[in-house]
Every structure is written in structure tokens, then in C-alpha cells.
Amino acid sequence: MIELVHEPVTVHALINGEKVDTKDKITRENPSNPSEIVGYAPLNTKEDTVRAIDAADEAFKTWRNSSLEERIERMERAIKKLRDSEKEITELLSREHGKPVYDSGGELYVSLAWMEHACKTAKDVIGDDVREDENGTTIIKHDPIGVVSAIAPWNYPISLSTIKVAPALLAGNTIVVKPSPLAPLAVTVVLDIIAEEFPPGVVNVLNGEAEVGIELTSNPKVMKIAFTGGTETGRKIMEAAAPTVKELTLELGGNDPAIMLPSFDPNDEKAMRRLVVSNFLTAGEICMIAKRIYVPRSMHDLFVEKYIEAANKWVRVGDPFNSDVTLGPVNNKKQKDYVQELVDDAKANGAEIHKLGEILDPELFEKGYFMQPTLVVGAKQEDRIVKEEQFGPTVPIIAYDDVDEAVQLANDSIFGLTSSVWGDDQEAIEVAARIEAGTTMINTAAIQGLDVRYEFGGVKQSGVGREYGEQGLKSYVNIHIINNPNTKDLPHIPE
Ligand code: NAD
């Protein structure tokens, strides 16, 4: 068995360029082996949060006047340093989170791809634009908004922080970032590396519980909130933001459907593997994972058989540092218990539960927050496992009679983040247009179909606004029109 014990690491808060210690700490355990402490993060308070916001507010007075060229240069230096620290970052992420090392590498890869893309496109998207014609001259300025609060969840701590930090800084804002206490370490290392390249107070980092988040979302000096997390927390944040009318980007929960069309071939092993990956990557703890599969009734039994075959090949549960492993433990006990509750509920309602894949190290499996992935066959649309966001290694299959019904069932959700349609490309594209979601992927799903060049976000209760793409930069600026019309007087106004 691979040795899991390492010296615990300690990360600090960063306020106005200074590393700040706290008396009380967050202790982060290793989800593969909870008796091992991976490290400590500060447990910041409301007072620390006020200080960080004040520092960001003060730094904004100067930083707002920096040129876009300077901001891009600084960000590019940070990207280079992150690349140089890739191994250290991904291994720490795997230890504290539970995702296998290849998966942590994937998270860092996506984070850097977006940061690079944001640098590359910033001038075109948020550079000032001057328009001259017979009506006069108009300058479309993209002003920074001010102090931004960025709050991230535990499942993709690095990418869901850098998705906010990169555009916020490129646009000339200052920022206070709060990662989740369930994965605070690697992301704090990443944010420290970025912060080093910027003047003090431009990037501030706090760790802690809701107390920090509540101040970050209600303090009058904060002008914009960029939040990724659960829908319930998103509702609270909307309320907190209302008295001072803050700008909001909210990336919330999802319950993403995958519709298998009658033209889908269950014998297509590659497609089936992509589907399995889109259900179980990161042990299913992804907002945009395919969380319910709709299959034509006539194909159902063959589909289940082929799905199980494909899953048994790909799913290998174990130590995140074992290169044969595809799924590590669930990140925390509460999440594991919740997923188990949904599976038990489906079973009690008559569904069949099929365990998938292989457990590589049974001894370790018993120690950590591991779960053997399950396929839930015979679930009904009204079952909790179909209605709620599982956010873990289980997926239900629901039979449908015709494509109209499949579309209706897919749209029958308070959520609308991503979705996928599988089968003949052209037919799938036509069906995709009928799905209520921010993204619909064809013959692939989840991160496999993500493209940072294009907008990502949800409809309905999956969120407000978009990240990535042009909108992912534009949502960090105020458009300021400076208009110098040739005709200053309007012809229809009497003398
Ligand atoms: P969460 O909502 O519990 O916590 C997210 C963050 O908000 C944490 O940092 C937490 O400390 C903080 N927080 C808690 N209460 C707060 C409050 N009252 N005010 C301000 N901040 C507060 O979410 P989680 O359990 O960390 O993450 C899982 C959820 O995130 C899932 O629902 C998942 O779908 C969602 N998610 C969405 C996306 C997306 O892009 N749409 C991406 C990843 C995860």
C-alpha cells in the first residue's frame, strides 16, 4: 500500500500583501484516511474580513488606473509560476480533496487554460473601444467595478477561484477570495502565487466558514459578488446583496440530464465510456456532471448491460496517488452520507442498485470516505435521486417512451446548468435546442465538453450570469459610455 502520511502544511490569510495568522484554524483531513491531517488553514473572522475588504478598497484607488497591458503582463507571470509549481499544487489538492492526481492535474489545466485565454482576449473584449461616424465620437470604456468578493466551493477549488480572479484583476478590480473550508489548502497556495505578482491589497485571501461569506456579501464596500456553490447559499447571497444592490454572478447547483436518443448505439464502447466518465469523474462531485440518464424504453435493458460493462472497465476506486485509480474517496463524510441516503431512498422505492467497478484497496476503502459507484435502475422521475442534485458517485437511469417525453422529463427540474444529447449528431442538435440549460453537449458531457472560450452558466435556479468566454470577462467591468455627439442640440426641442 502506498504511504499516505505527509507533514501537514499550513496556509495563511493574505491581507494587504501580508500573511496573517489566526489563533483558530481549519484542520483539513485526508478524505482517503481521515486520521491523517493534510494541513491547516486560518479560520478567519468577520473582523479579518472587514480588514481585507478595506485593504482591497484602498488598493483599488491606485490599481484601477493601471493599464490593461500591465495587468496582462502580471497575470502572465503568475501563470508561468503556477506552471512551475504544478506538481506541488496538484499533489496537495489530491491529498486534501480526494480526487486522483490525474484529475487534480485536469483541474489545474483548465484553470490555466482559462487564465491564458482571458489574457489573450482581454484587449479585444474589455479594452476601450472608440467609435466615430457621422453622428460624432463615442468611447466605450470598460471601467473596473471595484472590490469583488469571490466565494468558491470545495469540488473544484482552484478552477472556481481562478475563473473569477483572472478576469476580475484583468479588468482592474481588487478582490477578496474565500475558498471552502473543505478544500482550502492548494487553492490558497495558488492564490498566494498570483497575489505575489500584484501590488499589496489587490488580491486578498481569507479562509473560514459562512461568517466570512456573510460579511463578503453584505459589506457596503463590496461592489460585486462572484459566487459558486449550492443554490440554497445562492439565495442567501442574493438577499445579502440586495440592500446595497451589488452586481452578482452566481454559479449554483445543477441536475444535468443526459438524453440517449433512439439513434444512440449502446454497443459504441467509446461513447459509453464517455458517458461513464461524465457520470463519475471526480467521484461525481461536479456541478456539470451528467446526473440522470434518460433511455428509450425499447433500448433500456441492452443499455443497462452495456453501461455496466463500460463502467466496470473504467471505474477503479482507491488511493488518489495510485495511477491505476480513476475515482478517489468522496470529499467529506456529510456528502457521502447524503449520497447514500439518496441511494437508500431509491432502493426503498423499488429501484435496483448495481455496484460498479473495482475497489483496488479494500483496507483503505474502509478507512476513508470511499463509496463504490452505483447505477440506479428503475428510478422514477419523482424519486429524490432524480429530483435532487446527488453530487456524488451514483446515477439513475429512467426509461422514456418518446423523445418529446424525454425532453419534458429533462426540463422538469428547478435547475438548468448543463445537459447532453447522445445519438445521431443532427438529430441530437435539434433536440438540444429544446433543452432548458446554459450548455448542451452532443455525444459527450461534463468537463469533456467544456470549452473555456465560450460562456458557461445556468438558467432557472442554476444561476445568474456567465463565466468563461467573453461574458466571463465582461461581467467584471462597468460599461461607461463617453459620448461626444456632433449635434449637441436635439432638433425637436423648442428654443
Ligand atoms: P456551499 O454553497 O455550501 O458553499 C460554497 C461556499 O459558500 C463555501 O465557501 C462556503 O463556506 C460559503 N458560504 C456558506 N454559507 C454562506 C453564506 N451564507 N454567505 C456566503 N458564503 C457562504 O457549496 P459547496 O457544498 O461548497 O459546493 C457544492 C455546490 O456547489 C453544489 O450544489 C454544486 O452544484 C455547486 N457548484 C456549482 C458550480 C457551477 O458552476 N454552477 C460549480 C461547482 C459547484
pLDDT tens for 103-144 read 999 999 999 999 999 999 999 999 999 999 999 999 999 999
Closest ligand 1 atom, residue 233 Cα: 2
Closest CA to 394 of 479, 452, 327: 327
Q: What is the pLDDT of residue 6?
A: 80
Run of H or E including 41: strand 33-42
Residue 472, SS3 per DSSP? helix
Residue whose CA is closest, atom 16 of ligand 1? Answer: 210
Burial of residue 335 (number of CB atoms within 10 Å: 0-12, 13-18, 19+): buried
Q: How large is the angle between the packed helices 68-84 and 185-196, nearest 10 degrees?
A: 130
Alpha carbon distance 275, 264 (integer Å):
12
pLDDT in tens, 317-362: 999 999 999 999 999 999 999 999 999 999 999 999 999 999 999 9
Pocket of ligand 1 (CB under 6 A): 151-156, 160, 178, 180, 209-210, 213-214, 217, 228-230, 233, 236-237, 251-254, 287, 389, 391, 417, 458, 463
Give 216 Cα–ligand 1 centroid separation in angstroms.
14
Residue 270, number of CB atoms within 10 A of its CB = 9
Which strands, in side-by-side order, build the sheet including 33-42?
A: 9-10, 33-42, 25-30
Task: Single out the residue of 190, 462, 153 nearest to residue 332, CA to CA.
Answer: 153
Distance CA 28, CA 480 (A): 44
Substitution candidate for ligand 1 out of 228, 238, 390, 467 with most atoms within 8 A of CB: 228
Side-chain half-sphere CA neighbours of 86 within 13 A: 15
Best mutation site among 49, 155, 342 for ligand 1, i.e. most ligand atoms within 8 A of its Cβ?
155
Task: Report the nearest-CA residue for atom 20 of ligand 1.
Answer: 213
Are the C-beta atoms of residues 210 and 360 closer than 8 Å to each other? no
How many Cβ atoms sit within 10 Å of the Cβ of residue 321? 16
Q: Which atom of ligand 1 is nearest to the CA of 153?
A: 26
Distances (CA, A) of 472 to 108, 178, 186, 345, 381: 18, 19, 23, 39, 34
Distance 393 CA to ligand 1 centre (A): 19
pLDDT score of 491: 83
Contact assessment for residue 99 and residue 107, using Cβ atoms and an 8 Å cutoff: yes
Instruction: Flag whether pLDDT at 2 surpasses 80.
Output: no
Average pLDDT across the chain, whole number: 97
Report the distance separating Cα 382 and Cα 384, nearest Å.
Answer: 6
Among the listed residues 29, 91, 32, 90, the one whose alpha carbon sits nearest the alpha carbon of residue 328: 32
Residue 88 to residue 91: CA distance in whole angstroms? 5
Q: Which among 151, 161, 331, 462 is the best mutation to test ligand 1's pocket, defined by most ligand atoms within 8 Å of the CB?
A: 151
For ligand 1, atom 8, which residue shows the shortest CA distance? 180
CA 227 to ligand 1 center in whole angstroms = 7
Amino acid 3: pLDDT: 47
Q: Which of 96, 197, 215, 251 is catalytic?
A: 251
CA–CA distance, 215 with 45 (Å, rounded to integer) = 9
**Residue 261 DSSP label:** P
Q: What is the pLDDT of residues 294-319, one digit of tens each?
A: 999 999 999 999 999 999 999 999 99
Q: In which residue are the cell numbers 471505474 written?
A: 315
- The Å distance, Cα 249 to ligand 1 centre, comes to 13
Kindly report the pTM of this predicted structure. 0.97
Q: How far is ligand 1, taken at its centre, from the CA of residue 44, in Å?
A: 18
What are the CA-CA distances from residue 255 to residues 202, 219, 405, 460 (Å)?
36, 32, 17, 11
H-type alpha helices, 127-262: 157-170, 185-196, 210-218, 231-241
Provide the 3-class DSSP secondary structure of residue 147.
strand
Please state the atom number of ligand 1 nearest to the C-alpha of residue 229: 30
- CA–CA dist 236, 228 (Å, integer): 13
pLDDT exceeding 70 applies to what percent of the chain?
A: 99
Cross-strand pairs, 227: 151, 250
Nearest of 304, 242, 233, 228 to residue 457 by alpha carbon: 228
Tell me, rounded to whole angstroms, the distance of Cα 57 from its chain centroid: 26
Q: Residues 49, 216: contact at Cβ < 8 Å?
A: yes
409 CA to centre of own chain: 25
* Residue with CA at minimum distance from ligand 1 atom 40: 251
Atom from ligand 1 closest to the CA of residue 253: 34
Residue labelled with grid coordinates 445562492: 234
Q: Which of 287, 332, 391, 466 is the pocket-test mutation for ligand 1 (most atoms within 8 Å of CB)? A: 287
The torsion defined by the Cα of 76, 81, 86 and 90, in degrees rounded to 10, comes to -90
Instruction: Give the atom of ligand 1 at the shortest distance from the alpha carbon of 456.
Output: 40
Q: Does residue 243 have a pLDDT over 50?
A: yes
Taking CA atoms only, the protein residue closest to ligand 1 atom 26 is: 153
**Ligand 1 mean position, distance from CA 230 (Å):** 4
In the residue annotation, 251 being an active-site residue is answered as yes
Type of residue found at 21? D
* Shortest-distance atom of ligand 1 to CA 335: 25
For ligand 1, atom 39, which residue shows the shortest CA distance?
A: 251
Is the per-residue pLDDT at 34 higher than 50?
yes
- Ligand 1: residue whose CA is nearest its atom 42: 287
Q: Can you give the pLDDT at residue 5?
A: 59
| Low-confidence winner among 4-13, 20-29, 435-444 (lowest mean pLDDT) | 4-13
Distance 275 CA to ligand 1 centre (A): 26
| Sign of CA pseudo-dihedral 37, 32, 342, 393 | positive
